[in-house]
Amino acid sequence: MTSPPENPNEKKELEFLLQVQKIHEQVLDDLDYFKVDALQENKEELDAYLVESIDKTITKIQPPTASVEENKILASAVLDEVFGFGPIEPLLRDKKITDIFINAPDAVYIEARGRVQKTNTKFLNNEHIFRLIHRVASKTGRHLDLGSPYFDAQLPDGSRIHAIIPPLAIDGIKVSIRKYSFEKLDLFSLVEGGSLNESMAKFLQIAVKARFNIAICGGTGSGKTTLMNSLLASIPQGERMITIEDTPELEPAHHHVVRLLTRLPNPEGKGAVTQADLMINALRMRPDRVILGELRGAEAFNLLHAMNTGQDGTMVTLHASGAEEVISRLLNMILMARYALSAESVRQQIAGALDLIIYVTRLLDGSRRIMTISQISSTEEGNLKIDELFHFNIEKITETELQGDFIKSKITPSKRIASKLVVTGFTKEYNEIFEGP
């Protein structure tokens, strides 16, 4: 239990949490578990029975002087405790919030509009946090104990949750929740948000429709997946798309989609299915497009091999800080997978596979911007070449202000890109983008 607070407001909050816990425990004691078992198949009736039990318990425990509004607030908090995530349930419902971080019972942070800030939300103690997270773990078939001191899972609404406990987390259980966004954005929605300009949006639409091979890079929370989902909206409906992910985050609005998901090993260390395994399977399923949620390791070789042998229109995200680092990471992934290839031959494969690298980041003011769009090609000598087609030029930046502009460069398209533009009929539109203002 945390030490008694001296601040009157904090004392009131603690008393409220204790009251919620007391009612929650009383509800569990009073439940007719034979009836609960009988209603397992009918969720609506079960929920109604639990709500009725909560109301009865509040009426029994609360003093007669308690107002209807006070009882209503208390009932809502107990419902969140029974059905949801207790104190953070209102944060999960708030659409403006993108991330929730629980560092301690009295230290809950959120990210909203690109800014991280502390909230007034509090838990009773570490046991309170653990009880709620353990419920999530058990529902997803995971364990959270000394033998398995961390876990990743997906919540029913699609949000991702990660929890880690002592002794790995020195100061107590830590929880991170990346909320699922129900808002479907296309490229021009991102233009309105300032992530790119209209010329870049038109260019990326052409790049997707002309089946360019595209890598999106950036750091954690930079907007890679948001941008990927926006690009997927430009893929023609008739194409067969296969997505490969560790955690389902891609949401293609297409009727011909096959979604594949990796699998962790079981407690005996068996049964794991990796992205490399799924990549091999995907190529046997006659895809028009293969989309990788995030490139991490050995699957890099299979991906490059597919792109070099005619699997155009492939898209992937990975962690990197620019086009040069993407090349370096791809090189390291393949060499560390112990394929019998020289660094030079791998670089040539990369040059022959990728068409574009898009670097996106979150800036000091909290906004997300596409910083560069680079064309990848090879020189006549066979060396890899990187040319910036667009970049964001920062003139002034503070925590509250950003001044800058997107700059485009007229670069001759590579032979491979020029060929794709001709075959798909987008040469004229492509040239208009770079010849215009």
Per-residue pLDDT tens digits for 135-153? 888 777 777 888 889 888 8
Task: Report angle CA 235, 238, 240 to the nearest 5 degrees.
Answer: 80
pLDDT > 60? residue 224: yes
- Work out the pLDDT band at 1, boundaries 50, 70, 90: very low
> Beta-carbon neighbour count of residue 203 at 10 Å?
22
- Chain position carrying tokens 């979604």: 259
- Amino acid of residue 433: I
Question: What is the C-alpha to C-alpha distance for residues 95 and 365, in angstroms, rounded to an integer?
Answer: 20
Q: Are 411 and 375 in contact (CB under 8 A)?
A: yes
pLDDT > 90? residue 318: yes
pLDDT value for 116: 86
Q: How many CA atoms lie within 13 A of 137 on its CB side?
A: 20
Question: In the structure encoding, which two tokens stand for residue 269, read together?
Answer: 């260390």
- Chain position carrying tokens 């709620």: 132
Q: Are 275 and 296 in contact (CB under 8 A)?
A: yes
Mean pLDDT of the chain: 86
Q: Which residues are bridge partners to 404 per DSSP?
A: 394
pLDDT value for 435: 84
Q: Are 149 and 132 in contact (CB under 8 A)?
A: no
Question: What is the C-alpha to C-alpha distance for residues 389 and 369, in angstroms, rounded to an integer?
Answer: 15
Question: What is the C-alpha to C-alpha distance for residues 329 and 320, in angstroms, rounded to an integer?
Answer: 8
Task: Report angle CA 379, 381, 386 to the nearest 5 degrees.
Answer: 25
* pLDDT tens for each residue of 257-313: 999 999 878 777 788 899 989 999 999 999 999 999 888 888 888 888 889 888 999
pLDDT value for 39: 64
- Work out the pLDDT band at 5, boundaries 50, 70, 90: low
pLDDT > 80? residue 252: yes
Higher pLDDT residue, 114 or 405? 405
4 upstream amide cis, omega within 30 of 0: no
* Helices and strands per DSSP (H, E), number in the chain: 15, 15
Question: Percent of the chain beyond pLDDT 70?
Answer: 95
- DSSP for 383-422, written as a single string: -EEEEEEEEEEEEEE-SS-EEEEEEE---PPPHHHHHHHH
Averaged pLDDT for residues 19-46: 74
pLDDT > 60? residue 3: no
Question: Percent of the chain beyond pLDDT 90?
Answer: 39
pLDDT > 60? residue 2: no
Q: Cα separations (Å) of 385 from 331, 347, 352?
A: 15, 10, 11
The least confident of 4-8, 174-178, 210-214 is 4-8
pLDDT value for 30: 74
- Work out the pLDDT band at 421, boundaries 50, 70, 90: very high
Q: Are 215 and 326 in contact (CB under 8 A)?
A: yes
Domains contained in the chain, CATH given = 1-80 (no CATH), 84-182 (3.30.450.370), 187-435 (3.40.50.300)
* pLDDT tens for each residue of 55-99: 888 888 877 777 778 778 888 888 777 777 888 988 988 888 989
* pLDDT tens for each residue of 359-407: 999 998 888 999 999 999 988 777 899 999 999 999 998 887 889 999 9
pLDDT > 80? residue 7: no
